[in-house]
Structure 1
Amino acid sequence: MCGTESRKELPLVSAASGCSCCSKEAAKEVTVAGDAEYALEGLTCGHCVQTVEKAVTAVAGVDAASVVLVPGGRSRLVISGAVAEAELRDAVVSAGYSLATR
């Protein structure tokens, strides 16, 4: 590409744990600070929205949570605060729904 190519070498990890950017080790300690958005699956009505919002706001570190409902599609969860993604996922799953894979 125009004779100037720059590449950054990334560390290699074993195939058993995945690539270095999404290996299980890297995903364990993800903490969200500030506003963050997630995709939700399985929501169909306003009651679903209230259930997820209530479950997520109960997680320590979450200041606020709101859901934008898309019936039959991927709804959006917007949170503010500082929370580990695993705790957020657990709250959504315990409410009967799931965070969509990225």
Structure 2
Amino acid sequence: MSEFPNDHNFRAQEGGVAADRLRSIIERHIRLEEEVKALRGDQKDIMSEAKSAGYCPKTIKQVIRIMNADPKDVAEAEHLLDTYLRALGVGK
């Protein structure tokens, strides 16, 4: 079913194939937004499961960010964190 009624401003007879293509692009984007929303719900459920198993969701998210990051960027961030902590007399 189309997200747009037949009498919408982008009528095929007025816009021709371009209007149909635009409608198709918009409808595909809307479907993807719905899929992303569902996936975010799944991610939330996974974090709830992790929490109920005794894991820290915040730390898991940090691990995921590190795993997805460029190793060079991770090393630089760790170096800066260590530098700042030592400058403040905190940590190691």
TM class by shorter chain equals under 0.3
Higher relative contact order (CA 8 A, sep 6+): 1
What is the TM-score with the length of structure 1 in the denominator?
0.22
What is the TM-score with the length of structure 2 in the denominator?
0.24
- Greater fraction helix: 2
Query: Who wins on radius of gyration, i.e. which is larger?
Result: 2
- Greater fraction strand: 1
